[in-house]
Structure 1
C-alpha cells in the first residue's frame, strides 16, 4: 500500500508545476488511490520523516516525491517547506563557467594574465586596449577569442557582435596596403581602388578586432591607430576630410620586443601589456592538460577511442619546439591521423611514438629515459567533456572522499548514522587521504607554487602556535600543502546536484559540532587566502576541519583572554610579562599605547584583536586610564563573547585576574569576585545583538549526561528549530550562580531540561522523566511554538521515539536498538491504521519499549508467563489480535520470527479496548 503511494507520487510529481496543485493534497491523493484520508496522511508524513517525500505547508498541505523533484533540477536540502515559493527557489539552473576561467592555467601560470584581461575588459566606456606578448604559438589568438566570449557573457557587447582576427604579417612588405585594410579606402585612393571599401575597424564596429603581429604596422599606421584609440574616429585612405566613428575593442599581439618595434606614443596608449609563457615555461600539470585537450579534440573528430602511449605523452611534455602550443597541437593532429589511417577498422586507435612526423624521430633517443618501466596508455574518449580516466590517482581519491562524505552526511541527516559515528567515519577517511598525500611523492610539482604554499603554511602554523598554543607538526604543513596543490583553486565537482545545498548545511553542522577545529580551519584558510590573494573554498574548510578534528584539536583550550593596555613605551608589556612569569603561563597580551593616542586608534587595535582571537569565553581588558563607558559602547556590537573592562591596572590586580582565569572561573564569577574598591572601576558588557533562543540541558551527575540529553533533543528537533541552540551546562554552576552564568547573557534561554531542577526564577524547568512519560511534552512544545514552526504530533512522536532508545539500549544486548526501534515504530503506526485508533504518548512509549524487548526475547527463545484464559481471550479479542499481528508482519519477516498469541495479547493489553 505504501509502495503504491510512493510510486503514484513519483509519477504525479513529474507533472509539477504544470498539473493541478490540488492533486498533491492528502485528500486528492486518498481519493485517487481509493484509500482513507487518515491512512494516506499517516503514510505521507512517514514518507517525509524518512526523507522520501517533501511537504509544503500551505493550505491545503501539499506532498511531492523528493527524487522526482531532484531529477527535474530541484536542489532539495530539506523535506519541509513553508511555501511553494520556497520550494521553487531551489530549482537550479546550469551555471555557465566563465570563458576565461575555462582557459588552461587560469588559476596557475595565466592567473595574473586573466586578472589583467578581466580588468581591461570590464573597464567602463569600451574597456582598455590589450597587448599580448608571447612566442609564436603560445595561444595569443585563442586567448583573444576567449576575450570575445567573455565580453558577450558579461553583456559588454551583443551576442552577435563581430570578432575579427587579422594577421598583419600578411602585408609586412606593403605598410600602405595594410593601412588600407585597417581603415578602408575611398575610390581612386590608389591604382586598382575602383570603389569605396570599408576597413577592418569599420567591420568590427560593436565588437572586437584582434591584430596579430601588430608590429608590422608602419609608424604612420601606428599614429593613425592611436588617434582612433584616443578619439574613436578614423579616416579612410584617400580622403582625410572624411571622419568616421566606430566602437571597437582592440586586442593586439606581437612576438617582438615592444620597445624597439613600437612608437613610444603608441605604447603609452597600451595600459595593459600581458606576457604569455612558452609551453616549456608552464607547469607540468598545465602542459599535460593542454596535451590532453588536443587528444580529446582529435578523439571527437575521429570518433574513436584513442590509446596514447605514455612515452609519446612524455615526449610531447618534454618537447621544446618552435611554435610552442600551436606546434604541439599540429603534431598531435598528425600523429592521430597517421595512426587512424592504419587502424581505422579498430574500435580503439593506438597512437605511438612512430606515428609522429619523421622529423622528430632523431629526438627519441635523447628524450626517452632508459631503464624506465613502461606505464599504462592514456585513454581519450570521443564526444564527451568528462574524461575521469585522465585524472591523477590523488585527484580521484580526493573526489572519492567528498563523494563518500556526501553519502555519509545524507545518512546522518536521515538518522541512519549517529553523530559520533558520522564524525569518526569522516575523520578516519580524511586521515587516510592525508596520509596518502603526505607520503606519496610520485606526482610532478611546480616547485615555485609548492614552495610558496609550504612557506606560507609554515608561517601561519607558527603564528597559530604562538597565539593559541596550536600544536607544531611539520607533517601538517606537508599534508595540507600537498592537498591544496593537488586540488588547485577550485571546488570539487560532484555529480549530485544537491551537493552545494548539502555542503552549506554540513558547514553549519561543523560550526556547531566541531567548534574548535572549525574555528582553527577557518582561521588558517583565511590567512592563507589573504597571503596568496585567493578565496576560501567551502570544500577546503570542510576537509581541513575534519583533519583538525582527527588530530584531537578540541583539547586546545578556549580560555578567557586577558589584554593589558597602558600608556608608555613598555608599561603594558612589563605588567603582562611579570604576571605571565609568576603565573607560569602566557595568560596576558599587552598593548603599549603612546601618550597622545586617540580613542579611535585604541578602538581599531581592539577590533583587530577581536577578529584575530577567539573570545567566545570572554575578554578582560585591564587599562591604566581611559573613557571606559565610551570604549565599551564602541565595542559592544563587535563582540562574540562578554567583555570586562577594569580601570587602574596594577601588578596585584593582573595577578588576581590571571589566577582566576587559570582556575577556570567564568567571566561572571570573576566579575562577582572582584571587590569594588573606590579606585577600581569595572564594567561588564555582553554582545549587543539579537540573542538566539536556547535550551539548556543539565544533569546532577555531570556534563556527560547533559550532553546525552542535548544530542537526543537535537535529533528530535532537527530542522524544526534549526536556529535554537541546545547547550549542555554544568548543573552545580547553574544552581549556584543562576542567571549570572554566561548562557543567560549570550542567549534567550527558553527552558532547562534535565534530571534535577537548578531552581532558576522565570526559567521553565522540564524533568527528563516528564518528557519520557509524556507528561510535559505539551509544555515543551508550547514553549517552542512561539518561535519555531513545530507540528505537535510530529515532535511528540520524535521525543517519545528518541528518548525510548536510551531506555531500550539498557535492556538490549544482541540487537541494533536504533534499527529495531525504527521497525517497531513502523509496525505500531501500521497497527494504528488497521485498528483505526490513535495511541496516546504513554501507550506509544510502552509499546516501543515492550515490542523491542519482545523481539529480543523471542530470538533468545525466552518465554513469558503462561496465561490460562488465553483461549477465552482470543475468542473475545480475536479480530483485534489478527489486526495487530498483521501490523507486525514486516517486523516478523525482517527478523524471521513469529510473534506468539501470548505476546499479541500483551500488546493489546497495552493498547486497551
Structure 2
C-alpha cells in the first residue's frame, strides 16, 4: 500500500471528534511531517481542525439548545465529556465563528473576579473563612492584617494566594503588586539572619554585613507579604512588625536615625497556639484570625472532591490518562491524614509514581492509561501504616465514589498540536514574552538563578536560529499583514532599514522574514519601556564589537528620534540578534541538549568544573536531595527538557538508582529523543560537553562513543610504512598533560615525531588526518579518545607510559580483514516458524544471549527502540537493533521469513540485525551498505534452501 492510500485509510477510520493531526500521522507512518502535510493538501483533504469542525459545531449547537445561558467553562466541560479534546479558547473561537449569540453564553462575573472559587469547599466548609478573608481585604483604607491558623497541610499557603488574587481583582492593590512569601521556620535557628532577610540591614550591622541590603518587607511594598510559620519570628521581629502595622514605618537592622515607609498587606500563618507563641502586644494588632479546619473535619464530599482534584493535577503533570479504581478513592477518603491535604497529595503522588513506572516499563503499546487500583495500594502499604482510619460512615462515602478516568487538560496558553495543522500564517510571540514564560517556568520548578541564565541563553540562541525557518512565504514577502497591530511609522522605518542593510551587504541573501519578527519585537519593547514594565534579561547577549551590534546601535538611535523614547542598552543586544539572524547564511546547527542529574549536590559540582575547564555555559545540573521524592525530580527534568531541547534530543548523565530511567520518562512524556548514561564521572561529563559543544555527531553518535568500554581501546596493525613515525599527545588544552607525555616519550625515542593537540579544537579530526598523510602515526596518547578510525588510542596512565614500548606499535592505516569474522553461520537463519514481529525479535535475541554475544538487557533495548519508530527500509527489509552497551561482540543476524511479517509500517521479508559495540559502528555502517544492493536483496528473497541462503550472504561478505 503506497503512502497516499495509507493516509486516506487512516483519515477515513479516525475518531471524527478528535481527528489525527499531520504530526500524528507522520509519527505513525515514520515519515516527515512536511511530507504528510503536502500530500494531504494535494489530495484536497482538510486539516484536523477543519475535519473536526462540523462535528464540534453540531455538538455545541445541541448543548446550547438545551441551555442557552450555559457558561463557557461548563460548555467546555460538556464537550470534553462528549469526547472532544478542546480547550476553552477553542470553544470561544467556534462560538464567535458561527455567530452564536455570545452574550447569551454566560460568563459569571463572580467566576472571573473571585479567586476563592478555585478552592474546594468555597460554598461549604470554607465559606465562613472566605467571607472573613474578603472582609479583611476590602476593609478601608488598606485592609486588615490577617493571621491564618490551622494544622500543617490544611492549605494556608493556597488560601493566602487566593487572598492576594482577590485583592488584585478588586483593585485593593495594583495588578503588578508583589506577593512575597517567606517561611520563618527556614531560618528559625538563626534569628539574626532571619531578621536581616526580612527587614534588611545597614553596612556593619553585624559581622559579615559588608554592604547595605534591603529586605523582603521593601520588596513587598505596595503588595502582600505572607509570613508562614510566623510563630518562629523572634520577639524583636514581632516588635518591628508592630511599627509597620501601626505606622507603616520601620528601620533596617543597624539603622538608628532614619525610618523607612512601606505600605503593604500582611498575612501570617501558623500551626501553633497563638496565645502561647506570639507576644500579647503583637496578637492585639492582628484583628482578623481565620481558622482552617483539618481535613478529617471537612465534609466527606469535599474530601472526595479534593482527592479527584489531586489525581487530575497529577494527570496533567504526567500528561497521560489515569484510571483510578473507586476502591482506591474509598480508602483515601477513609484515612485520617495527620498532615492533612499535604500528606494526601504526597500519597497520591506516590501512587501515581508507582503506576507511572509500571506504565513506562510495560511493553504493551496498546495500554493507554496508568492503572491505579488495589495492587498499587498494596505496593505502598508501608506508607499507610501511620495513617489511622477516620470515623466516617462508609456507606456515605460510597455514594460519591466511582471508577474514574482522568484525561490531561492542556493549559489555555499552551500551543496545541492541532494548531500546527492550521493553514493560517501565525505570527510569533514576542521574544520578551517567551523569555518571561520560560523564566517563570524555571522558577516554578525551583531552578537556581545561575542555571536559569544559562538555560535562557540557550533558549534565546535557539529562538533566533529558528526564526529563518518559521515563515514559508518568502517570495510573497510583505509587511502589510502587520499593520493591524504594528504602528505605520515603525513598519515604514523597519522597511527602510531593511533596504539599507541589503545595500550594505550586496553579496548576502537577506532573510526578509526576520524583519517581521523584529517589527513585532520593537512594538512590544516600546510598550514595555513606556509602561515601565520589568524586562527579564540575561547578561550581554551579543559582542559589542560585531557588525551586527554596530548596526543595532544605528537602528536604536534612529528609532529613539522617531518615537521620542529612550531605549536601554540591553535592547541593542536583542536587535543585534535579529540582524544576525537576517544575515545568517550558514546552515542551522543546533546542539544536543546535555543535562547532569545526581543525588546530593554532585551534579552542580560537576557542571561547575566542566564550565570552568571548557569555558561553556550550556550543560544543566539537577541535584536530587537524598530525601526527595523521585517524582518531583522527574517533573522538574521533564519541564527543563521542554525548554533546553533544540530538536536534536537530550543526553542525560546520571549517577545511579531511579535516575537511570529519566531518559525514557522524558521521551514518553514529551516525545523528545533522549539517551541516558549512568555511573557518570567527571571525565565522561567533560567528554560529553566537549562533543556536544563542537557538535561532534548527533545524539546517538555522541551516546555510543561515550558508553563504549573504557578499556576496550582500538589497536590496529600495519607491517609496512616508510613514513616517519609519530605520536600525538592529547589533552583538553594541548598544553600541560600533552607536553608532559611528549617530553616523557621524547627523552626515550629520538626517532619519533611528537605533536601536542587540544581536545577542544573543532578541527581536531581534520588536523590528525592531515598529519596522517605524511606520518606513520603510531598512536594518540592522552586523556580523551578522538576516535579516529584506523589510529590506536592509548589512555594516559603514568605506569603505562613508563612501560610503553613504541617500537611494538604499528600504524593502523590498513584495517584487518574484519568483515568475515562478524558473520556466524548460526546467525544466518532460513524461514523459521515465526509469523509475528515481537516473537521474531525475542527469538533472535534469545540466540544472541545464549551465544554470549549480548547481555540479557539487549532484548528490552531492541523492543524499546522499535516502539519509538519501526526500523523499516525500502525493499521490505527490517533492520532492528539495540543499545551497544549490552553487546559483547560485534555480529550480524540475517533472516529470511516464510511469509511476510507486519512490521508496523509495512511487511518485511528480510531481517538484518546489526549487533555492534560502540567502536564497531564504522564497520557496521560499511556492511549495511550491502543492503543498497538490489541484486543481493533479491537473491536472498528468492533463495530456496538454507544452504543457498547462507552462501549468498557469505559470498557477499567476501567481496567487501
Shared fold, TM over 0.5: no
Q: Normalization by structure 2: what TM-score? A: 0.30
Greater share of helix: 1
Q: Normalization by structure 1: what TM-score? A: 0.32
Higher relative contact order (CA 8 A, sep 6+): 2
